[in-house]
Structure 1
Amino acid sequence: MVTLVLDNVSGCYRVFLLVFFKGANSYGQLGQGHVEDQSAPRLADITPLQNTAVRAVRAVSGGGGHSVVITENAEVFVCGQNHRGQLGLGHCVDILTFQLCCSLSQRITKVACGWDFTLLLTDCGQVFACGSNAFGQLGVGETVKHSSEPLVVESLKESVVSVAAGLRHSLAASGCVYQWGRGLCSHAKRALSPHPVPSHLNSTVPSVVPGLDQKTHMVSAGSVHCVCLTGDGDVFLWGSNKHGQLASTEPFLSSPSLMKRSLLGGEKVVHVWSGWTHIVAQTETGRVFTWGRGDYGQLGQNKTSSIQNPEQESVGPSAGGPNKKAFLPTEVKALHGAAQIACGSEHNLAIVGGSLLSWGWNEHGMCGDGSQTDVLQPQLVSGLKPLLIGCGAGHSMAVCAEMTDSRQNSAMIPLQRH
């Protein structure tokens, strides 16, 4: 996700794009008007945003190859891959520069992007969805295979406060938690056989997730797991535990499991983020814990604590690496007091003490240090004054303050992966 801030003096946006590796801009998701990779900061074509009366951009989310910008006055701008209509423009042609999504007359305040679909949340708590529905991830039933027009998720009758998009499944919080999309179904079948798959893991319309009696504050999603944070500061986890992201010895959890606070210093959790296979949580005192897959350094730990259960190894080998045990939550002290954190698929960004930090998989330079070596601990991305950060499935960005002609402007710097 990304936020842009309007220069109050000049009345225009200044947005720089920093791309470190091949293929990151193959669908125009950087909004530069072309599909070439970049190796240095470049201005994005944000002319459509300049022509609006907006003073700021509220949020941005990225999918597998597309980007969505939500402005402060609730307009939606999109660019990038659009082969399943995930940009909501009424067609399936890729867009190389940010374009206003005119089909939405509602005021959009939040967005979540899955691999090839998009969820949009209005200020009234209504959810719209567009893009691929091959696994029922749009929540509109299975008749629609994909939609280039944003569709109302009509089954959600209550006002929604949080949405999350995984690889092929979706979550919504409105007091209780709803789940839809069959992205976890095949994993559930293998793990639960011969028992049937619960309805919330095999539904193409929103289905209530059982076992969550507390009021939900927010939801987050990995590639094949789900996260719920309650208003009381408790974290519930369910789905695949192949990489230990559920902090459990079970290979799969079909229903939400409460994470013991003792694993998180005995404190309440105030925010939680999820990558494809790892999770980051911040407690009420500012402590930051990470757990899950760590073979790319995405946990920010040189050493990781693993669950001492020999049966855990039977869960399966970690893709791209040797067999791994489930990782217990471990505090990353360098992130204490982080103002913001964002998770990409296997890498992360954070703002700590006004500085931008990055860590994790860095094969293509997405950590912003100019190398292709994985970053095992949070490291400073020098020369940047971050205002807001965010990551999509295939790219991550930072809105940074700079001083130009004695005026403070903003710069959006995507640090990309494939």
Structure 2
Amino acid sequence: MPSDSVVIAWGAGEDGQLGIGNIEEREWICQVKALQDYSVSSVVGGSRNSLALCDDGKLFTWGWNQRGTLGKPPETKTETVPSQVKALGNVKIVQAAIGGWHCLAVDDQGRTYAWGGNEYGQCGEDPEKDETGRLLRRDIVVPQRCAPKLKVRQVAAGGTHSVVLTREGHQIFVPVRVQGPEKVRLIAVGAFHNLALEEDGTLWAWGNNEYGQLGTGDTQPRSQPIRVQGLSGLTLADIAAGGWHSTALTNEGEVYGWGRGEHGRLGFGDDKSSKMLPQKVQLLAGEDIVQMSCGGTHSVALTRDGRIFSFGRGDHGRLGIGRKVTTGHPMEVPINLPPPKTVSEDEEENAEGSWRANLIACGGRHTLAIVKWSPDNSNNNNENNTE
């Protein structure tokens, strides 16, 4: 990773999911130093583990491995520092996802790979059953090809299911194609529900709906995609799904949230009730949000100028604000790191600039982000203006 860009983490760490070499939780951000020499392009948070993807296609995993979710031998229960998934070392991985206890990845040729728990067929293989028809636990500990007949551009993993988006814009809810949405641009998967954003801006949802996370105005589950209500007239740029809540982001940087509101994960301040229809997160109005990420019980927002806001359940330090407070009011996460090593020791004390985030990723009870050093050129600009 370039010396002016680093991976940071905060929150629960009991399975090593922060990647900092121990199982401590952190209430403030900390640097994942094992990745500092790699050019990390994206990070993903799972329920109890994490992964990082590099520009050259290398995939690193860390955290909980008891179902083979790290793509490592099962005798390795947890890993507290990132290490490369050697089984994928000969391909260039361009995107990846973590579910409840399985992982998915897609390479630059559109080939998909899966590993981890497969008792529900979430790794793309028919689950095995005993003589009574009961599903048998089967773990796939070495990444293997899945959906081999498809050319894929995005994978998404839920609690015990998987969805892939083909290059033609079709969704495959492994192992069958999802009927309804066409020309899908993005997919997002929560614990037990799914979102699909079409190129024309139409948002579809299906799956579990007990807290209104499908945005249909009711709590009835749907086995087929149904349009999310309350977003007409908006141009959507991005979507995100958490454990039992959902968010949508407009081109204008406005955030809409719906689903389970307990602990304030929707960002509606003191109103922690669940919402069956999307509502604008007024407390983020004017912040120009460019990315949202949803965890199990918390949410994180990224602004265009690189600031991070978090809200929701605060125990285990998952909000990154230095105290274990639960709040529905978005709070800015301080990015307190020293200047990068490109700044000499003599210059460090007077170095001017700040760390700005360019990507965020919520896990179950932790969060990851990539931050880049942005020098303050105001002095140079002032000097130029006086010439």
Q: Offset of 1:77 from its aligned partner?
A: 1.0
In 1, Cα distance between equivalents of 2:266 and 2:29: 27
Query: Within the alignment, does 1:147 sit opposite 2:136 as a pair?
Result: no
In 1, Cα distance between equivalents of 2:26 and 2:259: 31
State the partner residue of 1:190. Answer: none
State the partner residue of 1:291. Answer: 258
State the partner residue of 1:178. Answer: 172
Q: 1:231 to 1:156 in 2, by over 3 A?
A: farther
Query: Within the alignment, does 1:392 sit opposite 2:359 as a pair?
Result: no
Q: Any unmatched runs of 5+ in structure 1? A: 181-205, 305-320, 407-418
Query: Within the alignment, does 1:31 sit opposite 2:19 as a pair?
Result: yes
Q: Any unmatched runs of 5+ in structure 2? A: 129-136, 337-355, 378-387
State the partner residue of 1:256. Answer: 225
CA deviation vs aligned residue, 1:43-86 (integer Å, no higher than 9, x gap): 53416x63xxx5x2111112222111110101011111111111
Percentage identity across paired residues of the two chains: 29
More strand by percentage: 2
Q: Is the Cα contact below 8 Å between 1:62 and 1:394 reproduced in 2?
A: no
Query: Within the alignment, does 1:60 sit opposite 2:43 as a pair?
Result: yes
Q: 1:57 to 1:15 in 2, by over 3 A?
A: closer
State the partner residue of 2:91. Answer: 106
Poorly superposed stretches of 4+, deviation over 6 Å = 403-406
Query: Within the alignment, does 1:363 sit opposite 2:315 as a pair?
Result: yes
Please give the TM-score of this superposition, normalised by the length of structure 1: 0.75
Q: Offset of 1:16 from its aligned partner?
A: 5.1
Moved more, 338-347 or 235-244: 338-347
Q: Offset of 1:92 from its aligned partner?
A: 4.0
- Find the partner of 2:57 among 67, 74, 83: 74
Q: Is the Cα contact below 8 Å between 1:161 and 1:218 reproduced in 2?
A: no
State the partner residue of 1:273. Answer: 240
CA deviation vs aligned residue, 1:278-311 (integer Å, no higher than 9, x gap): 111012333221111112111111366xxxxxxx
The code of the aligned residue for 2:368 comes to: M
The code of the aligned residue for 2:87 comes to: S
Q: Is the Cα contact below 8 Å between 1:58 and 1:109 reproduced in 2?
A: no
CA deviation vs aligned residue, 1:317-373 (integer Å, no higher than 9, x gap): xxxx9xx66432111231552122211112111122432111111133311222322
State the partner residue of 2:158. Answer: 166
Moved more, 396-405 or 232-241: 396-405
Q: Is the Cα contact below 8 Å between 1:63 and 1:117 reproduced in 2?
A: no
Q: Secondary structure at the match of 2:68?
A: coil
In 1, Cα distance between equivalents of 2:256 and 2:31: 35
Q: 1:246 to 1:96 in 2, by over 3 A?
A: same
Pairing 1:96-245 to 2, within 5 Å after superposition: 96-104=80-88, 105-143=90-128, 145-153=138-146, 155-174=147-166, 175-180=169-174, 206-212=175-181, 214-245=182-213
RMSD over aligned Cα, in angstroms? 2.5
Please give the TM-score of this superposition, normalised by the length of structure 2: 0.81
The code of the aligned residue for 2:188 comes to: S
